């Protein structure tokens, strides 16, 4: 039965599409069910955007673009700042809603609200700081003027694992720079985006600046928008396979793209590590979001002299965690997003065990409803096991051992992905060597968490293109224009 608080929070969410400042039904009258992953039951239904709704959204974004770009940076900054304050006021409701549709424990969802909202604050501070430059050419004659302007209407496609933060990382800089946008949230977690859009709209975001089109027909709805000459940018967060396809689709129009894709993060524990810190870091890097994070530690590469102690302590801590619906007050581990995801995680565990891995904790599908999977530690994992080569996206920690730094770096780099790595060592020079040699966009040194709105988030290799957050994040929404000027003194 739906609790009073649950119903109240669900009632706060507009159930329509937001296009040109109006909330409306889908043009073909279809609706989309949002499922509670803890029970498999329907939470609520919302409008399911059609292809023609998508085209209406790009028309609305295009129509609003020129006037929006002409607004004062200070005005856009203040709007973002008000949104930051308002999301803070509603933080408990956002967290509860996110837990309902995505499954993570409410306390963890509260952490995402703080993290996601920080992007709004960060970009409110960046909005008035976009500048160009003026200088003299090396020969002392011509002048060089460089100016920045908004890239224009942008399409955002976001995943289900961080329903608020993945949206604010894009909406924040787009508002700051004066871009209009269309947000297509994941079909499984559209409610958080709809609530955020209603907050921005209530604060006076002009019609057409942000359009939100949840849909069960992702490719059919976004494909025509990507081909439309009015769109100027695509920013995608999701799997590498879908990202590759979208890069191909964007090629015809040479669309600006930002791609935040999959990961296969190594977490390396050296023999000189502080093991207490390594265990804490491992739990954080593995269990944040039940392991359903692009930044989740996927491979535990541990020096053979500390592997036994490290694995035993991680397994002991994991075995004590409470698995429950995210809204249960002392829940530590919520359900995975759906049954296919749970089966995919279990298949990786079963394959690894068939190839000789030993289960230290977890590894069994629990009885009962919902898509739960227990925190699991595997040792003696064969180097060829799929679990070391695929993104697990679940609370499973496979441990392999090494004997030399060179071997650890080789193992860490043996993947097509290059998003993040974690390393635990008390040797600063070794830490710096790793920063230079690991093939990743981000390195957590003696920490299991790198995400920070003030830092450039992003990957190399098949993990993506571009950066979100930091000083770099705003450039993704700016075009650079150079004006060559004849010597004004001549």
32 in contact with ligand NAP (CB under 6 A): no
Closest CA relative to residue 173, chosen from 403, 412, 456, 410: 456
Per the CB < 8 A criterion, the answer to whether 409 and 379 are in contact is no
Question: What x-and-dash track marks residues 281-320 binding ligand NAP by CB under 6 A?
Answer: -------------x--------------------------
Both structure tokens of 283:
């739990």
**Stretch 127-156 residues interacting with ligand NAP (CB under 6 A):** none
**45 to 64, contacts with ligand NAP by CB under 6 A?**
none
Of 262 and 281, which CB lies nearer to ligand NAP in the complex structure? Answer: 262
Query: Which range of residues in 148-156, 238-246, 283-291, 477-485 is near ligand NAP by CB under 6 A?
Result: 238-246
Which residues, listed in sequence order, are joined to residue 134 by a DSSP beta bridge? 145
Candidate list 112, 260, 280, 292, residue with the active-site label: 260
| 419 lies in the binding site for ligand NAP (CB under 6 A) | yes
Q: Is 101 in the site for ligand NAP (CB under 6 A)?
A: no
Q: How distant, in Å, are the alpha carbons of 134, 177, 258, 346, 471 from that of 127?
A: 20, 6, 19, 45, 11
Q: What does the chain come to in residues?
A: 490
Q: Which is nearer to ligand NAP, 178 or 398 (CB)?
A: 398
Q: Which two tokens stand for residue 326?
A: 């995210």
Q: Using the minimum distance from each CB to ligand NAP, give the nearer residue, 168 or 380.
A: 168
Which positions from 337 through 356 interact with ligand NAP, judged by CB under 6 A? none
Q: Which stretch binds ligand NAP (CB under 6 A): 175-183, 233-241, 250-258, 397-405?
A: 233-241
Least CB distance from residue 274 to ligand NAP, whole Å?
Answer: 28
- The site map against ligand NAP for 163-202 (x = CB under 6 A) is ---x-----------------x-xxx--------------
**Is residue 447 close enough to count as binding ligand NAP by CB under 6 A?**
no
Give how many residues touch ligand NAP by CB under 6 A.
28
Query: Is 159 an interacting residue with respect to ligand NAP (CB under 6 A)?
Result: yes
Least separation, in Å, of the C-beta of 397 and ligand NAP? 17
> Between vectors from CA 218 to CA 213 and to CA 220, what angle results, nearest 5°?
105
Of 187 and 302, nearer to ligand NAP (C-beta) is 187
Cβ neighbours of 220 (radius 10 Å): 13
Minimum distance of ligand NAP from residue 158's CB (angstroms) = 6
Q: Which residues lie closer than 8 Å to 145 by C-beta, 6 or more apart?
A: 132, 133, 134, 482, 483, 484, 485
Rounded to whole angstroms, how far apart are CA atoms 323 and 339? 16
Contacts 24+ apart (CB under 8 A), 363-367: 366/323
Burial of 287 (0-12, 13-18, 19+ CB in 10 A): buried
Per rule CB under 6 A, is residue 161 in the interface with ligand NAP? yes
Q: Is 260 a catalytic residue?
A: yes
> Does 262 help bind ligand NAP (rule: CB under 6 A)?
yes
Nearer to ligand NAP, 270 or 477 (CB): 477
462 CA to centre of own chain: 15
Measured N-to-C along each axis, helices 307-319 and 275-287 cross at an angle, to the nearest 10 degrees, of: 50
**Least separation in angstroms between CB 113 and ligand NAP:** 16
Give the nearer residue to ligand NAP in terms of CB position, either 15 or 313.
15
Rounded-to-integer distance, Cα 157 and Cα 238, Å: 8
What would the DSSP string read from start to end of 145-191?
EEEEEE--SEEEE--SSSTTHHHHHHHHHHHHHT--EEEE--TTS-H
The question of whether 179 is a catalytic residue gets the answer: no
The answer to whether 79 touches 204, Cβ cutoff 8 Å, is yes
Catalytic residue, chosen from 126, 179, 292, 294, is 294
Nearest to 266 by CA among 293, 289, 300: 300
* Cβ atoms within 10 Å, residue 371: 25
Among 60, 151, 174, 261, binds ligand NAP (CB under 6 A): 261
Report the nearest approach of ligand NAP to the CB of residue 252 (Å).
15
∠ CA(465), CA(471), CA(476), 5° rounding? Answer: 40
Task: Give, as ranges, the residues between 350 and 409 that touch ligand NAP (CB under 6 A).
Answer: 391
Q: For residue 280, state whether it binds ligand NAP (rule: CB under 6 A).
A: no
Identify which range of 117-125, 142-150, 235-243, 265-273 contacts ligand NAP by CB under 6 A.
235-243
Interface with ligand NAP (CB under 6 A), residue from 50, 99, 117, 158 = 158
Active-site amino acid positions: 260, 294
**Which parts of this chain interact with ligand NAP (CB under 6 A)?**
157-162, 166, 184, 186-188, 218-219, 222, 237-239, 242, 245, 260-263, 294, 391, 419, 459, 464
């Amino acid at each position: 039965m739906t609790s009073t608080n649950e119903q109240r929070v669900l009632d706060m969410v507009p159930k329509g599409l937001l296009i040109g400042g109006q909330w409306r039904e889908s043009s073909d009258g279809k609706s989309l069910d949002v499922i509670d992953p803890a029970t498999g039951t329907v939470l609520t239904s919302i409008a399911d955007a059609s292809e023609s709704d998508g085209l209406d959204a790009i028309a609305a974004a295009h129509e609003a673009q020129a006037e929006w770009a002409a607004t004062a940076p200070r005005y856009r900054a203040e709007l973002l700042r008000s949104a930051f304050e308002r999301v803070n006021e509603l933080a408990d409701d956002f967290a509860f809603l996110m837990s309902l549709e995505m499954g993570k424990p409410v306390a963890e969802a509260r952490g995402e609200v703080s993290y996601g909202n920080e992007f709004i604050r960060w970009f409110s501070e960046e909005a008035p700081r976009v500048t160009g430059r003026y200088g003299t050419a090396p020969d002392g004659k011509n002048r060089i003027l460089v100016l920045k302007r908004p890239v224009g209407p942008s399409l955002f496609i976001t995943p289900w694992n961080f329903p608020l933060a993945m949206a604010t990382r894009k909406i924040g800089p787009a508002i700051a720079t004066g871009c209009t946008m269309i947000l297509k949230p994941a079909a499984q977690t559209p409610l958080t985006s709809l609530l955020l859009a209603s907050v921005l709209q209530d604060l006076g975001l002009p019609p057409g600046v942000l359009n939100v089109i949840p849909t069960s027909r992702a490719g059919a709805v976004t494909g025509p928008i990507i081909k439309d000459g009015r769109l100027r940018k695509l920013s995608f967060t999701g799997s590498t396979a879908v990202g590759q396809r979208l890069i191909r689709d964007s090629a015809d129009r040479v669309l600006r793209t930002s791609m935040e894709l999959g990961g296969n993060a190594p977490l390396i524990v050296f023999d000189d590590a502080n093991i207490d810190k390594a265990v804490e870091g491992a739990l954080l890097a593995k269990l944040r979001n039940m392991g359903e994070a692009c930044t989740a530690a996927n491979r535990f590469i541990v020096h053979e002299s500390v592997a036994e102690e490290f694995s035993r302590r991680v397994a002991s801590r994991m075995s004590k965690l409470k698995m429950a619906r995210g809204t249960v007050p002392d829940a530590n581990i919520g359900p995975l997003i759906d049954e296919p995801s749970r089966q995919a995680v279990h298949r990786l565990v079963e394959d690894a065990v068939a190839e000789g891995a030993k289960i230290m904790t977890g590894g069994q599908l629990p009885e009962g409803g919902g898509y739960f999977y227990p925190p699991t530690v595997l040792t003696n994992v064969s180097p060829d096991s799929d679990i070391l080569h695929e993104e697990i996206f679940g609370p499973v920690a496979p441990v392999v051992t090494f004997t030399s730094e060179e071997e650890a770096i080789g193992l860490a780099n043996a993947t097509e992905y290059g998003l993040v790595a974690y390393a635990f060592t008390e040797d600063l020079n070794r830490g710096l060597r790793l920063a230079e040699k690991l093939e990743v966009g981000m390195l957590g040194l003696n920490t299991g968490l790198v995400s920070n709105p003030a830092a450039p988030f992003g990957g190399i290799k098949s993990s993506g293109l571009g950066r979100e957050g930091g000083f770099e994040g705003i450039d993704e929404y700016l075009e650079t224009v150079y004006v060559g000027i004849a010597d004004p003194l001549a």
